[in-house]
């Protein structure tokens, strides 16, 4: 089994190609074309351990920590991740109603206002250890509340019974 | 009405929409008018998909309008607000699924692929259909036929209850949530009804004891005002004797009533538990994918007890306390209306307090339940896996994890404890204030005008007032019990009201299965992020022995899960002997399939009963014969307790190969028409594998068999091989045909041959 290639600091230059594709030039001369970035820990470690997969889904390299990359490389990777991972961050809960066991939420997010339904309140709202909340709606779309304590009082009061 | 080409558009106020167009939602006016203006002569709009994201990933209006000739993608980030792709120019069209969103990507001939439409998963399956439509039309497909496939996807999307929005098993099916009874009382009344006679008896006994309880304070009045001042010993003895008799009768009846109440309550909760457990058996696997077993166990064990207590309170205590309250008020008014009014003054405070308390406590009880379900989950997850915990010295970590979950429960329970103790104390305080008012004013009136109110009357009144606050307190705290029970009731209803496995073919029994299996355009995903199966088309003839191969995660097990109807939410059709399996009676259909899993599950029961699980009425010799065929009888006979050997939860006491052979014996006993083996020899040594292979060969003779396999020896038996890769069938044919292709199958066999040679070599050296 070959050793995993880790990318960190300046041992690679990453540039953006079309769509989600990236080009990685390692300092040792190796080049990976048309790779796509995926988070290995999309919930608990968004900027750590980003795997780079080729067109067949085979891992070519892993970025240990995005924050340690050179600025241009970091920007290229972050842009593709932002496009791939759509997890709107809820900034305010405008309305929350429950009927027939289904919860309907109207929220303000970082990408606009949205309304969605949650079918299984007990399983589709997860509070993480660091105070973040992950919500899955009835269409399997994901949402995040970056910090429960940062929500305004009204939003917290609306959501609190379901946490 | 507006005509554009040959198409008639009817104005609806939102835009121009062809009368029979399929759509997910009303097309925004600006897109509708733009689309109408762009239509060519003779071009027919077929369907539209209204999106919710723009190409930059912000919530915004976007839409797809698909005609018989082109796809028009409306998004503010396209030049001119629209991108046009002619079907005839489409080289590739597909949906690229991402995390929380997806894009429709189109590559026109000679051009690079381009994202033309972005959306959340709400419309992902429809966009899949749109992409397939465009590609198939480009490949020369018939518009009408391809449109029918799209229409089927739309119809499936419309299978939601118009009232509550819950997904239905199929369009037009009755919605359990809305057609079932709306109030809690009616839903649970069916459990109370069988105990009605007993409960009426208990109620009657309660009313007798209640009436008896009203007597002593009145007797007290007579004692204080008449008997004792007159020093009438005979009257005193008589009154004491009467009181004694009243108490004896009262408490005897109370004990009898208590006994009957307990019986009634136990029967109610047993009925509830039976129903929940039974219902849980028929829920689809997708329910268990989302709900932890700890949560279901909590509902069966804890929630039913909570609900039982509440139902008894409502049907017995509430009625008794109500009559007691009325009786006392009437007596008090007859004795002295002024004192009665004084004693009623704290009541508004008590009622308001109950309402306020109810609103505060409901969310707390909900949280407590969630915390407790999490604790139960840990127990059910980790204790059966104690072997893993010990082998990785994870005892401390496991204990710490349990402690943290338990502490979270403790925190929430403490909040509830605070609230649910403060309130009753507050109520008691107000009630005490009421008594003080009676002492103060009543005492003053006794001193100032003893002809109007005697000492005996005051003492009697105080007793009645104290008794009165019993019912007041009961009704004030009823809300607490109600809120607690409401949470439990909702949890129970989650299971009872959940959509069971759809059995729309109920009654359409399967008589004989020849064994022809067809997959037609089957697409399936567990969640919407990743498709587990894509465009599966497969025909298996009766008697075929089909090997299914592929790398881990390629979709092999998913294929058989769909045949077993463990998951029904797939697109396309699966037919057995030409009949859609969804139209067959579920129980009858599954009874015709023998399924041997990779990890055989044994129940905590005897070997005999584990084998006979597939045919409970089987006699001893049938079971022994099945064990023989499965090459299991010889090792069972060697067990000290033979067929009576008790197996543990996970078949403890048996090796993997022995469990597998018991599993095959189960399948043999069933005498199924179709057989499915899911990597049945995955985790055994070659000697055991040989025994299992032998057993399998005996079993499969003459039956259509599907075998998920990666052992060469297994694949050699197959007359057809299906190669699955990333959810698609990439190769299909006989072993020789696929080897000649030198494709994926050839590579898999090469790798397998090498590893088998190494394994055989190691075994020859007895090297482990």
pLDDT at res. B291: 65
Given a cut of 80, whether residue A95 has pLDDT beyond it is yes
Given a cut of 70, whether residue B175 has pLDDT beyond it is no
Residue A97 near chain B (CB below 8 Å): no
Of A18, A101, A140, the CB nearest to B494: A101
* Distance in angstroms (rounded) separating the CA atoms of residues B621 and B221: 82
Given a cut of 80, whether residue B16 has pLDDT beyond it is no
Given a cut of 60, whether residue B651 has pLDDT beyond it is no
Give percent above pLDDT 90 in chain B: 17
Phi, psi of B105 (to 5 degrees): -110, 130
pLDDT at res. B684: 65
Q: For B372-406, what is each residue's pLDDT tens digit? A: 878 887 777 777 767 667 766 777 878 888 898 89
Rounded mean pLDDT of A113-124? 84
Of B59, B122, B363, the CB nearest to A139: B122
Q: Which residue has the higher pLDDT, B676 or B301?
A: B676
pLDDT at res. A84: 92
Q: Sort out which chain B residues have CB atoms less than 8 A from A88's CB and list them.
A: 59, 100
Q: B730, B731, B724: which is closest to B709 by C-alpha?
A: B724
Rounded mean pLDDT of B64-93? 93
pLDDT at res. B289: 66
- Most B-contacting residue of A141, A143, A161, A163 (CB-CB within 10 A), to test interface: A141
**How many alpha carbons lie under 13 Å from residue B536 in its C-beta half-sphere?**
35
**What is the SS3 assignment for B639?**
coil
For B748, other C-beta atoms within 10 Å of its C-beta total: 21
**Residues B93, B83 contacting (CB under 8 angstroms):** no
Given a cut of 50, whether residue B5 has pLDDT beyond it is no
pLDDT at res. A23: 96
pLDDT at res. B173: 53
Going by pLDDT thresholds of 50, 70 and 90, the confidence category of residue B3 is very low
Residue B529 near chain A (CB below 8 Å): yes
Going by pLDDT thresholds of 50, 70 and 90, the confidence category of residue B528 is low
Rounded mean pLDDT of B253-278? 86
* Distance in angstroms (rounded) separating the CA atoms of residues B767 and B293: 41
Of A84, A111, A114, the CB nearest to B99: A84
Q: Sort out which chain A residues have CB atoms less than 8 A from B528's CB and list them.
A: 139-140
Tell which CATH classification among 2.60.120.260, 3.40.50.300, 3.90.320.10, 3.40.50.1220 matches the domain B508-592+710-768. Answer: 3.40.50.300
Q: Which residue has the higher pLDDT, B10 or B278?
A: B278
* Residues facing residue A39 across a β-bridge: A50
Mean pLDDT of chain A: 89
Helix, strand, coil percentages in chain B from 3-state DSSP, rounded to 5: 60, 15, 25
Q: For B425-458, what is each residue's pLDDT tens digit? A: 877 787 777 778 888 888 888 888 877 788 888 8
pLDDT at res. B694: 82
Tell me chain B's radius of gyration from C-alpha atoms.
Answer: 37
Q: B619, B603, B612: which is closest to B654 by C-alpha?
A: B603
Q: Sort out which chain B residues have CB atoms less than 8 A from A90's CB and list them.
A: none
Give the chain A residue nearest B99 (alpha carbons): A85
Given a cut of 70, whether residue B23 has pLDDT beyond it is yes
Domain with CATH 2.30.29.30 in chain B: 2-168
Q: For B193-229, what is each residue's pLDDT tens digit? A: 888 888 889 888 888 888 888 888 888 888 888 888 8
**Residues B705, B545 contacting (CB under 8 angstroms):** yes
Determine the distance in angstroms separating the CA of B366 from the nearest CA of chain A, rounded to an integer.
7
* Residues facing residue B595 across a β-bridge: B676
Q: Which residue has the higher pLDDT, B706 or B184?
A: B706
Of B53, B99, B370, the CB nearest to A122: B370
pTM value is 0.64
Strand-strand pairing, B728-733 and B571-576:
unpaired
Q: A51, A78, A77, A75: which is closest to A63 by C-alpha?
A: A51
Rounded mean pLDDT of B515-540? 85
* Distance in angstroms (rounded) separating the CA atoms of residues B523 and B520: 9
B145-149, B170-174, B354-358: the lowest-pLDDT one: B170-174
Going by pLDDT thresholds of 50, 70 and 90, the confidence category of residue B93 is very high
Rounded mean pLDDT of A4-32? 92
Q: Could you tell me the end-to-end alpha-carbon distance of chain B, in angstroms, rounded to an integer?
A: 81
What are the residue ranges of helices labelled H in B158-183? Answer: 176-179
Q: For A65-87, what is each residue's pLDDT tens digit? A: 999 999 999 999 999 999 999 99
Q: Sort out which chain B residues have CB atoms less than 8 A from A161's CB and list them.
A: 362-363, 366-367
Structure tokens at B516: 């022809």
Q: For B569-588, what is each residue's pLDDT tens digit? A: 888 899 999 999 988 888 88
B184-496: what CATH class?
mainly alpha
Of B58, B101, B164, the CB nearest to A100: B164
Q: Sort out which chain A residues have CB atoms less than 8 A from B52's CB and list them.
A: 114
pLDDT at res. B551: 81
Going by pLDDT thresholds of 50, 70 and 90, the confidence category of residue B527 is low
State the DSSP H helix or E strand holding residue A52, giving kind and residue range, or none if neither: strand A48-53
Going by pLDDT thresholds of 50, 70 and 90, the confidence category of residue B181 is very low
Rounded mean pLDDT of B75-95? 93
Determine the distance in angstroms separating the CA of B494 from the nearest CA of chain A, rounded to an integer.
8
Contact A100 B166 (CB under 8 A): yes
Domain with CATH 1.20.1560.10 in chain B: 184-496
**How many alpha carbons lie under 13 Å from residue B322 in its C-beta half-sphere?**
9
Domain with CATH 3.40.50.300 in chain B: 508-592+710-768
* Distance in angstroms (rounded) separating the CA atoms of residues B686 and B693: 10
- CATH code for B2-168? 2.30.29.30
- ipTM value: 0.89
**What is the SS3 assignment for B506?**
coil
pLDDT at res. B4: 37
pLDDT at res. B6: 38
Return the residue matching tokens 């707390």.
Answer: B364
Q: For B714-756, what is each residue's pLDDT tens digit? A: 777 788 999 998 899 999 999 889 989 999 888 888 877 777 7
Mean pLDDT of chain B: 81
- Sheet of A112-118: strand order equals A90-99, A102-109, A112-118
**Residues A42, A66 contacting (CB under 8 angstroms):** no
pLDDT at res. B10: 42
pLDDT at res. B54: 94
Given a cut of 70, whether residue B421 has pLDDT beyond it is yes
């Amino acid at each position: 089994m070959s050793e995993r290639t880790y990318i960190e600091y300046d041992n690679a230059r990453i540039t953006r190609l079309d769509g989600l594709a990236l080009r990685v030039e390692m300092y040792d001369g190796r080049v990976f074309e048309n790779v796509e970035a995926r988070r290995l820990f999309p919930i608990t470690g968004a900027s750590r351990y980003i795997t780079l997969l080729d067109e067949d889904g085979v891992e070519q390299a892993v970025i240990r920590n995005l924050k340690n990359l050179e600025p241009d490389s970091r920007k290229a990777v972050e842009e593709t991740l932002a496009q791939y991972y759509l997890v709107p961050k809820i900034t305010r809960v405008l309305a929350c109603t429950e009927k027939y066991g289904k919860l309907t939420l109207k929220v303000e997010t970082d990408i606009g206002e949205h309304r969605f339904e949650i079918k299984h309140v007990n399983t589709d709202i997860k509070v993480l250890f660091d105070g973040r909340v992950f919500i899955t709606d009835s269409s399997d779309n994901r949402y995040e509340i970056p910090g429960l304590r940062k929500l305004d009082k009204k939003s917290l009061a609306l959501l609190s019974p379901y946490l | 009405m507006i005509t554009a080409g040959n198409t008639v558009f009817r104005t609806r106020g939102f835009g121009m929409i062809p009368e029979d167009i399929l759509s997910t939602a009303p097309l925004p006016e600006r897109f509708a008018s733009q689309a109408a203006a762009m239509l060519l002569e003779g071009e027919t709009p077929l369907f539209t998909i209204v999106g919710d994201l723009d190409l930059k990933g912000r919530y915004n209006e976007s839409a797809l309008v698909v005609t018989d000739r082109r796809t028009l993608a409306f998004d503010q980030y396209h030049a001119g607000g629209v991108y046009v792709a002619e079907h005839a120019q489409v080289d590739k069209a597909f949906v690229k699924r991402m995390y929380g969103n997806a894009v429709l990507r189109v590559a026109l001939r000679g051009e690079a692929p381009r994202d033309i439409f972005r959306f959340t998963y709400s419309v992902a399956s429809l966009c899949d259909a749109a992409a397939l439509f465009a590609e198939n039309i480009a490949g020369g497909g018939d518009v009408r036929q391809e449109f029918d496939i799209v229409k089927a996807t739309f119809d499936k999307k419309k299978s939601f209850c118009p009232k509550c929005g819950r997904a239905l098993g199929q369009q037009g099916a009755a919605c359990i949530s809305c057609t079932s009874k709306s109030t809690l009382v009616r839903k649970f009344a069916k459990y109370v009804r069988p105990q009605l006679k007993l409960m009426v008896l208990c109620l009657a006994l309660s009313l007798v004891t209640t009436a008896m309880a009203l007597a002593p304070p009145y007797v007290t009045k007579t004692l204080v005002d008449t008997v004792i001042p007159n020093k009438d010993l005979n009257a005193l003895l008589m009154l004491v004797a009467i009181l004694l008799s009243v108490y004896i009768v009262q408490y005897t009846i109370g004990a009898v009533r208590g006994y009957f109440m307990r019986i009634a309550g136990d029967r109610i909760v047993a009925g509830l538990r039976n129903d929940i457990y039974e219902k849980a058996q028929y829920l689809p696997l997708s329910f268990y994918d989302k709900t932890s077993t700890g949560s279901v166990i909590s509902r069966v064990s804890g929630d039913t007890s909570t609900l039982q207590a509440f139902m008894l309170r409502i049907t017995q205590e509430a009625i008794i306390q109500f009559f007691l309250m009325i009786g006392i008020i009437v007596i008090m008014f007859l004795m002295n209306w002024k004192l009665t009014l004084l004693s009623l003054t704290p009541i508004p405070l008590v009622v308001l307090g109950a309402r306020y308390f109810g609103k505060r406590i409901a969310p707390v009880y909900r949280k407590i339940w969630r915390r407790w379900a999490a604790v139960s989950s840990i127990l059910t997850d980790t204790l059966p896996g104690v072997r893993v915990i010990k082998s990785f010295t994870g005892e401390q970590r496991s204990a710490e994890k349990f402690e943290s979950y338990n502490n979270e429960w403790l925190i929430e329970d403490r909040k509830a404890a605070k609230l649910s103790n403060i309130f009753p104390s507050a109520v008691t305080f107000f009630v005490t204030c009421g008594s003080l008012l009676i002492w103060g004013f009543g005492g003053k009136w006794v001193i100032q005008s003893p002809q109007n109110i005697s000492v005996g009357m005051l003492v009697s009144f105080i007793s009645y007032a104290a008794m009165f606050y019993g019912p007041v307190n009961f009704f004030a705290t009823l809300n607490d019990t109600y809120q607690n029970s409401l949470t439990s009731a909702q949890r129970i209803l989650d299971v009872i009201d959940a959509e069971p496995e759809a059995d729309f073919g109920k009654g359409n029994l399967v008589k004989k299965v020849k064994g022809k299996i067809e997959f037609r355009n089957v697409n399936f995903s567990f969640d919407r992020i990743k498709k587990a199966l894509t465009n599966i088309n497969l025909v298996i003839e009766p008697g075929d022995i089909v090997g299914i191969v592929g790398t881990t995660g390629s979709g092999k097990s998913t294929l058989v899960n769909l045949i077993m109807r463990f998951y029904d939410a797939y697109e396309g059709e699966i037919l057995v002997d030409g009949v859609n399996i969804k139209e067959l009676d579920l129980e009858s259909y599954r009874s015709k399939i023998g399924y041997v899993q990779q990890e055989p599950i044994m129940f905590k029961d005897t070997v005999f009963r584990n084998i006979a699980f597939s045919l409970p009425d089987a006699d001893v010799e049938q079971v022994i014969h099945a064990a023989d065929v499965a090459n299991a009888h010889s090792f069972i006979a060697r067990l000290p307790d033979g067929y009576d050997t008790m197996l543990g939860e996970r078949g403890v006491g048996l090796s993997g190969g022995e469990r597998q052979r018991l599993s095959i014996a189960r399948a043999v006993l069933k005498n199924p028409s179709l057989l499915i083996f899911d990597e049945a020899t995955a985790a055994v040594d070659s000697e055991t594998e040989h025994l299992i292979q032998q057993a399998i060969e005996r079993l499969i003779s003459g039956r259509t068999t599907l075998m998920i396999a990666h052992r060469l020896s297994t694949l050699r038996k197959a007359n057809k091989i299906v190669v699955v890769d990333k959810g698609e069938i990439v190769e299909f044919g006989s072993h020789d045909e696929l080897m000649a292709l030198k494709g994926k199958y050839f590579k898999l066999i090469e790798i397998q041959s090498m590893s088998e040679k190494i394994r055989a070599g190691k075994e020859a050296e007895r090297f482990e």
